[in-house]
Structure 1
Amino acid sequence: MRIFFDLWWFFKQERMKYGFGIIFLMLSSFLSMIPPYVVGVLVDDIRTRSLTSMTLIRWILFLIIIGIIYYAFGYIWRQLIFGSSIILANQLRNSLYKHFTKLSPNFFQKRRIGDLMAHATNDINAVQNAAGEGILTLIDSITMGGMVIVTMSVLINWKLTLITLLPMPIMVLLTMHYGNLLHQRFGKAQAAFSGLNDKVQENVSGVRVIKAFGEEKAQIQLFRKASRDVVDKNIAVAKVDSLFDPTITFIVAFCYFLALIFGSVFVMQGSMTIGGLTSFTLYLGQLVWPMLAFGFLFNIVERGSASYDRIRRLLAIKPEITDQKGASEDVPSGAITYAIKEYSYPGNQAKVLSDIHITVKQGQTLGIVGKTGAGKTTMLRLLLREFDVIDGQISIGAMPIRSVTLDALRGAIGYVPQDHILFSATIAENIAFAKPDASREAIERVAKLASIHEDILHFKDGYETVVGERGVTLSGGQKQRISIARALLADPEILIFDDSLSAVDARTEVSILHALKHERINKTTLISAHRLSAVEHADQIVVLDEGKIIEHGTHEALIKKNGWYAEMYAHQQLETIVSKGGEKG
């Protein structure tokens, strides 16, 4: 029953709905006590031949009125209790989603997407059932059971009631034992479902890679294995679940046996009437539901408790990147200054950046180049505060980025990442992601700047073309250019390109860079790239190697140094010449 204490905060929040819902539920239970008593009275009247047609009609009309009221009360308590449980599910789902948006990339690198989805679906549904069906079965079993027992004891025969209820403690002990087993097994079943969910999500997202490598059969076997594990663990849950009904049914049958044996004795002794025994038997039938509900209650609350534990563990994870107390909400602007002594990723002692000292004046373009793993993307992610610098700081306009809120900081930055994420929406909606109220003219203008407009017009539905999840229906270059258009539409103070021109050809790259130069006057741009042609127009270029700046200057100055940059530039120029020669040949 711990789940009800855990959810006490919500019951207090919705106390009016739950309070009135419970009152109407209890009134419904009280009304259900009336028909068996009426039947007993009628049986005794028939036995004594005192029943008249007028009396029978009055009793029938009375029962019809009771039935109508019972129907109305049932409608009201269902709306209040089940409606409140839906509100709980909505709040938990929103809390989880909001929590996900606050967590750092480090969290998502360690967690499986399918597992997180399972928390937001199956686990929340189980908690919702505990707050709806669980409250119903708890109150109904106590109220109905209590009223039935009191009615049988006070109005009929307390001795027979006591004898009939002797097996009840055995049922309570057994259902508690089943509940503990269910809690353990249901937690494992939910974890197995999370794994299966993750497997499906990965395979659907990577279906083209699976097909390209001919791994369909291998992945099907892995899926069957994961699915079999879910089945096995849910069967283990079902084995415990299936013990509730037979146990309760057996106890109830034994209660009936005791009632008939000892009730017949009391009738023969004259301490009970036949009508009284009839009413007692009907009341005992009404006691079946509270007994069954008691078993259902353990089932529901243990499932809900296991799921709520999983949700709470997730919500208890603290965001690594948060706003400092008193952080400014003003969007920062001005020169960007890196002053990093050294940086390592959380949980990793290896230095990723060392002695990074550079200033980018407002309106300048900075190019960042170097070998794979040199630290280019890390420099950009630190500016976004995806991670925090401990030994050193980054400033915008002489204001450390940790002294402004995350919303203000990211409101100043437009980001085009290496992994171009597009959503299952139209192309126009993807471009307008950061500015949903943008006009079609504005969307088309930035699409032209990103050299994607003509491609879009060739699609059957143009800008209304719906792209697949993560943009799977588009080529790599098209996704990159739509991502660039999305960033340009936001018109940020600082624009970051994280190797975002790698999938476009040289001519398209030149066109995009030319558009950027004219569009982003007095606004800062940071470009990391492997292809040096993407940064040769930059006001300054830094060359990184193993997290350190080994060269710094303009394109012309770096060429004259004859260092890594000059060597790589000559190599790439040669590749371009060979490629063009090959095309001519």
Structure 2
Amino acid sequence: MRIFIDLWWFFKQERLKYSLGVLFLMLSSFLSLIPPHVVGVLVDDIRTKSLTPVLLGKWILFLVIIGVIYYFTGFLWRQLIFGSSIILANQLRNDLYKHFTKLSPNFFQKRRIGDLMAHATNDVNAVQGAAGEGILTLVDSMTMGTMVIMTMSALISWKLTIITLLPMPIMVMLTMYYGALLHKRFGRAQAAFSDLNDKVQENVSGVRVIKAFGEEKAQIKMFQNASRDVVNKNIAVAKIDSLFDPTITFIVAICYFLALIFGAKYVVEGSMTIGGLTSFTLYLGQLVWPMLAFGFLFNIVERGSASYDRIRKLLAIKPEITDKKGASAKIPSGAVEYAIPRFHYPESAAEVLSDIQIKVEQGQTLGIVGKTGAGKTTLLRLLLREFDLQEGKLCIGGTSISDVTLEALRSAIGYVPQDHILFSATIAENIAFAKPEATREEIERVAKLASIHEDILHFKEGYETIVGERGVTLSGGQKQRISIARALLAHPEILIFDDSLSAVDARTEVSILQALKRERSNKTTLISAHRLSAVEHADLIIVLEEGKIIEQGTHEDLIEQHGWYAEMYAHQQLESLVSEGGQKA
């Protein structure tokens, strides 16, 4: 029953609804005790031949009134208790989603999307069941059971009641044992479902790659194995589930047997009437539900408890990047300055960056080039404060980025990542993601700047075209340009391009870069690239190698240095000439 203690904060929050719900539920339980007593009275009246049509009519009218009141009380407690459990589910989902948005990229690199989705769906539903059906079965089994037992003892025979309920302790011990087993097995079943959920999500997202490599059969087999594991673990849960009803039914059967044997004896002895025994057996029938509900309760609360444990563990994870106390909410602007003696990722001792000294004045463009793994993306992600520095500082306009709120910092930055994330929405909605109130004219203007406007017009639905999940219906270049348009619409103080022109052709690249130069004459731009033509126009270019700056200067300066940049530029120019020659041929 620990789940009810764990959820006490919510029961206090919704105490009025739960209090009224429990009150109406108890009233319903009390009303349900009246018909068996009336039946017993009528049986005795028939036996003594004292029942008249008028008296029968009065009893029937009385039962109809009781039935109408019972109907409305049942409606009210369902609305109040089940309605509150839905509020809990909504609150938990919102808490989880809000928590996800605060966690750093490091968290999402370790966690699987399918597992997080399972927490927000199956686990939340199980907790909702504990707060709804769990409360119902707890209150109903206790109040109904107590009322029935008290009525049987007070109105009929306390001796017969004690004899009939002798098997009850056995049932309590068995259901508690089953509940403990259920908690463990249900936790494993939920974990298996998370694995399956993650597998489905990965395969659907990567279906093109799977088909391209002809791996359908292998992936189907892997899915079948994961699905079989879910089935096996849920069957293990079902085996425990299946023990509750037979156990309780068997105990109830023993209770009935004792009631009939000893009840008949008391009738023969004259200490009980036929009507009394009839009422007693009807009350015993009403006691069946509290017994079953008791077993059902263990099932629900153990499922809810296992799921709530999983949710609490997730919510207990602390965000690695948080606002500093007293941080400014003012959006920063000005020169971007890096002064980083060394940097390593939180769970690694290996240095990723070292001896980084860069200053980019407001309105300038910084180009960052180097081999794959040189540290280009890390340098840019530090500006977004996805990770905190262990040493040194990173400032905008002379203010450390840790001295402003995350919201203010990220409001100042437009980011076009390597992995272009588009949502299952229209093209217009994807472009307007950072500025939902943008007009169609504004959306089309930035689409033209990103050289994607003409492509969009060729789609049947134009800007209202629905892109698939993660933009699967678009080419790599189209996704890149829509991402660029989205960043330009926000008109940020600082615009970051993380190798974001790799999928466009040379002519389109030139068009986009010229548009950037016109539009962002007084704004700062940081561009990392493998293709050096993307940074050729930059005011400052740095070359990274193993996290260190090995060359820096303008394009002309670096060509004169005859180092890595000059060698790579000559190589790429030669490739471009060969490509053009091939086309002409």
The normalised TM-score by structure 2 is 1.00
Secondary structure at the counterpart of residue 526 of structure 1: strand
Amino acid corresponding to residue 73 of structure 1 in structure 2: T
What is aligned with 2:120? 120
What is aligned with 1:343? 343
What is aligned with 2:379? 379
What is aligned with 1:172? 172
Partners of 1:55 and 1:583 in 2: how far apart? 105
What is aligned with 1:41? 41
What is aligned with 1:81? 81
What is aligned with 1:133? 133
What is aligned with 1:304? 304
Deviations 1:219-258 (A, max 9, x none): 0000000000000000000000000000000000000000
Deviation at 1:524, TM superposition (A): 0.3
Deviations 1:304-326 (A, max 9, x none): 00000000000000000000000
Once the two structures are superposed, the pairs formed by residues 263-342 of structure 1 within 5 Å of their partners are: 263-342=263-342
Partners of 2:30 and 2:290 in 1: how far apart? 14
What is aligned with 1:228? 228
Deviation at 1:115, TM superposition (A): 0.2
What is aligned with 1:185? 185
Amino acid corresponding to residue 306 of structure 2 in structure 1: A
Once the two structures are superposed, the pairs formed by residues 145-544 of structure 1 within 5 Å of their partners are: 145-544=145-544
Deviation at 1:390, TM superposition (A): 1.2
Partners of 1:504 and 1:583 in 2: how far apart? 17
Partners of 1:142 and 1:391 in 2: how far apart? 62
What is aligned with 1:18? 18
What is aligned with 1:93? 93
Amino acid corresponding to residue 36 of structure 1 in structure 2: P
Partners of 1:513 and 1:219 in 2: how far apart? 42
Deviation at 1:346, TM superposition (A): 1.1
Partners of 1:252 and 1:55 in 2: how far apart? 35
Partners of 1:274 and 1:442 in 2: how far apart? 87
Deviation at 1:128, TM superposition (A): 0.1
Partners of 1:392 and 1:71 in 2: how far apart? 71
Partners of 2:309 and 2:529 in 1: how far apart? 45
Partners of 1:131 and 1:18 in 2: how far apart? 10
Deviation at 1:521, TM superposition (A): 1.4
Amino acid corresponding to residue 170 of structure 1 in structure 2: I
Deviation at 1:13, TM superposition (A): 0.2
Partners of 2:516 and 2:21 in 1: how far apart? 62
What is aligned with 1:32? 32
Secondary structure at the counterpart of residue 541 of structure 1: strand
Deviations 1:534-564 (A, max 9, x none): 0000000000000000011000011011011
Deviations 1:165-196 (A, max 9, x none): 00000000000000000000000000000000
Partners of 1:543 and 1:388 in 2: how far apart? 23
How many pairs align?
585
1:576 and 2:564 are equivalent in the alignment: no
Secondary structure at the counterpart of residue 145 of structure 2: helix
Partners of 1:551 and 1:109 in 2: how far apart? 32
Deviations 1:114-173 (A, max 9, x none): 000000000000000000000000000000000000000000000000000000000000
Partners of 1:378 and 1:470 in 2: how far apart? 23
Secondary structure at the counterpart of residue 327 of structure 1: coil
Unaligned runs of 5+ in 1: none
Deviations 1:347-395 (A, max 9, x none): 1111000010110000000000000000000000000001111111100
Amino acid corresponding to residue 50 of structure 1 in structure 2: S
Partners of 2:35 and 2:569 in 1: how far apart? 94
Amino acid corresponding to residue 266 of structure 1 in structure 2: Y
What is aligned with 2:6? 6
Partners of 1:522 and 1:200 in 2: how far apart? 47
Partners of 2:159 and 2:174 in 1: how far apart? 25
> What is the root-mean-square deviation in Å for CA atoms of aligned residues?
0.3
Deviations 1:410-434 (A, max 9, x none): 0000000000000000000000000
Partners of 2:407 and 2:296 in 1: how far apart? 47
Partners of 1:584 and 1:331 in 2: how far apart? 51
Partners of 1:452 and 1:311 in 2: how far apart? 43
The normalised TM-score by structure 1 is 1.00
Deviation at 1:285, TM superposition (A): 0.1
Deviation at 1:334, TM superposition (A): 0.5
Partners of 1:90 and 1:98 in 2: how far apart? 12
Secondary structure at the counterpart of residue 434 of structure 2: coil
Partners of 2:9 and 2:340 in 1: how far apart? 45
Partners of 1:336 and 1:349 in 2: how far apart? 27
Deviations 1:69-113 (A, max 9, x none): 000000000000000000000000000000000000100000000
Amino acid corresponding to residue 565 of structure 1 in structure 2: Y
Partners of 2:115 and 2:392 in 1: how far apart? 36
Secondary structure at the counterpart of residue 415 of structure 1: strand
Unaligned runs of 5+ in 2: none
What is aligned with 2:104? 104
